[in-house]
Amino acid sequence: MFPAHTFKNRRVGLFGLARSGLACAEALRLGGAEIFAWDDSEAAVEAAKDASLSVKDLHDIDFNMLDSLVLSPGVPLTHPEPHWTVVKAKAAGIEIIGDTEVFQREVAGTGARIVAITGTNGKSTTTALIGHIFQVLGRDVDVGGNIGTAVFLMRPPVEARIYVLELSSFQIDLMPGLKPDVGILTNLTPDHLDRHGSMDNYAAIKARMFVKQDANDTAVIGVDDEWCADIAMGIANGQKLRAVSVLHEMEDGISAVGGILREWQNGAEVARIDLRSMPALKGAHNWQNACMAYGAARAFGMGVAEIRNAMESFPGLAHRMQEIGCLGYVPFINDSKATNADAAAKALASFENIFWIAGGIAKAGGIAPLSPFFPRIEKAYLIGEAADEFARTLAGKVPFELCDTLDKAVIAAARDAVNSELANAVVLLSPACASFDHYRNFEIRGDAFVKLVSELPGIAMTIKGDS
């Protein structure tokens, strides 16, 4: 926790008292601001009172007396309709910002630098990978933002400190001063349109990542979708553009066609890294993440060989295509985060000879959209409420076993994968389902999988089994 001095002697309304809101309110108070904090949740208000924050119902406040409104990113700014605090703030003509904007104002002029990552998919893995590379290579780095650590719970800004921040579209919408030293946009597909109104609005918010950059800054942008390609084409402030593609080689930029990362300058390859053997970076989507991280590391002057070595030790994010152990030559992959077919597709596309554990509470459409990947599956082990539905989809196409529970599925999949003696055999938990029939969330399901795998005789664990 550190104080937000840039708001000293200012009156600030703050709405939203979850973890990041509480941290920001305390930072503003420590910095000398007069805070009027509120939340629609009675429990959140009581927690703020317990933290000795000045709590005041903003319904009763004349917003004309305020200088700023700090809004939680989870609160609607425009769609489906502006929150009542937004209506009051606009009527009073005061700025509406988020905690990340307050944070950036504190960073300005300190010599600390910001790497900001956004996009529809891949931003959490990219953020974690960049943080890992920078830490391994001895940089003074903190990782936070939307990935988990509230910005004011990181260490205070000092010369040469680097903040690696995952930013959602909601956070960017509340961050008018956004000017990262390295700005990264992974990709764009329709998402959160209920909050942004249209795909055009959603893309425009993401594009703000680069609007205030200048010649001292770097923009790293995936160009494999038309929305991001258009944003890259519109870069016009003199910042260094590093376009990224996993589908095509580049004249200038970074590519990873077939899993070979290549850096290009004026049509010539100047560096390459083979990503294919890196266990935490399987699949084209992770190759794109690696390209983004590589672009950030190169912008900070890191060498190709040291970046490669750091990437090789990246453990991956928990529950996201995370290799947790091996039984003989068979790896076990925890992809519990795959709570729908689209997420599971990325895992199924990344492996061959798959012994697949799937099931839980099915989403609309079930696993029918995954049929192009069925030839990769040696056998499926079906659990939870969706087991019978999935069995009907797989019948005649993929061998399957009804296991009901995860413990039975792990034992059966391990037995069959090892006995198959197939090259590249893998046991993959990628459920394509919510977990709520047996587990409170996907994290608990993933932790259960890790524990069950750790109990297999002869297993060599990559991570601890009591996580």
Is the preceding peptide bond at 431 cis, omega within 30 degrees of 0? no
Q: Which CATH superfamily is domain 5-97 in?
A: NAD(P)-binding Rossmann-like Domain (3.40.50.720)
426-429 sheet: strands from edge to edge: 400-404, 377-383, 354-359, 426-429, 330-334, 322-327, 460-461
DSSP class of 374: G
Q: Which residues contact 438 (CB under 8 A, 6 or more apart)?
A: 360, 383, 384, 405, 406, 445
The residue among 75, 38, 40, 71 whose CA lies nearest residue 54 is 38
- Distance between CA atoms of 315 and 308, rounded to whole angstroms? 14
Could you report the per-residue pLDDT of 95-138, keeping only the tens digit for each?
Answer: 999 999 999 999 999 999 999 999 988 899 999 999 999 999 99
CA-CA distance, 258 to 222, in Å (whole number)?
16
Phi and psi of 318, rounded to 5°? -60, 135
Residues 55 and 86 sit within 8 Å (Cβ to Cβ)? no
Q: Which two tokens stand for residue 151?
A: 């910005």
- The tens-digit pLDDT sequence of the chain (467 residues) is 899 999 999 999 999 998 899 999 999 999 999 999 999 889 889 988 888 888 999 999 999 999 999 999 989 888 889 999 999 999 999 999 999 999 999 999 999 999 999 998 889 999 999 999 999 999 999 999 988 799 999 999 999 999 999 999 999 999 999 999 999 999 998 766 777 778 899 999 999 999 999 999 999 999 999 999 999 999 989 999 999 999 999 999 999 999 999 999 999 999 999 999 898 898 899 999 999 999 999 999 999 999 999 999 998 888 999 999 999 999 999 999 999 898 899 999 999 999 999 999 998 889 999 999 999 999 999 999 999 999 999 999 999 999 999 999 999 999 999 999 998 999 999 999 999 899 989 999 999 999 999 999 999 998 765 43
Rounded CA separation 20/102 (Å): 12
What separation in angstroms does the CA of 6 have from each of 33, 130, 169? 9, 29, 24
**What number of H helices and E strands is found in the chain?**
15, 22
Q: How far apart, in Å, are the Cα atoms of 432 and each of 7, 397, 441?
A: 46, 18, 13
Cα separation, 152 vs 144, in Å, equals 9
Alpha carbons 121 and 428: distance in angstroms, whole number:
21
**Cβ neighbours around 8 below 10 Å, total:** 12
* Backbone φ and ψ of 463, nearest 5°: -125, 170
State the first-to-last Cα distance of the chain, in angstroms, to the nearest integer. Answer: 27
CA dist 42 and 17 (Å) reads 10
Calpha distance 425→377 (Å, rounded): 10
* Rounded CA separation 117/146 (Å): 10
Q: How many residues does the chain have?
A: 467
Instruction: Measure the CA–CA gap between 407 and 345, rounded to whole angstroms.
Output: 23
Q: What angle do CA 147, 148, 152 make, to 5 degrees?
A: 110
CATH of domain 322-461: 3.90.190.20
* Number of Cβ within a 10 Å radius of residue 61: 17
Give the closest residue to 435 by CA, choosing from 426, 448, 452: 448
CA angle 254, 185, 262 (to 5 degrees): 10
> Structural domain boundaries of the chain?
5-97, 101-312, 322-461
pLDDT at 191: 62
Biggest CA–CA distance in the chain, Å, is 73
Cα gap 413→233, rounded to integer Å: 48
**Burial 206-217, CB ≥16 within 10 A → b, else e:** bbbbbeebeeeb
Q: Would you tell me which CATH number, out of the four given (3.30.2130.10, 3.20.20.105, 3.40.1190.10, 3.30.1490.20), belongs to the domain 101-312? A: 3.40.1190.10
* Residue 417: closest CA among 408, 426, 409: 426
Which residues are paired to 292 by β-bridges? Answer: none
- Helix or strand holding residue 109 (H, E): none
Position 65 scores a pLDDT of 97
Helix (H, G, I), strand (E, B) or coil at 245: strand
The predicted pLDDT at position 467 comes to 38
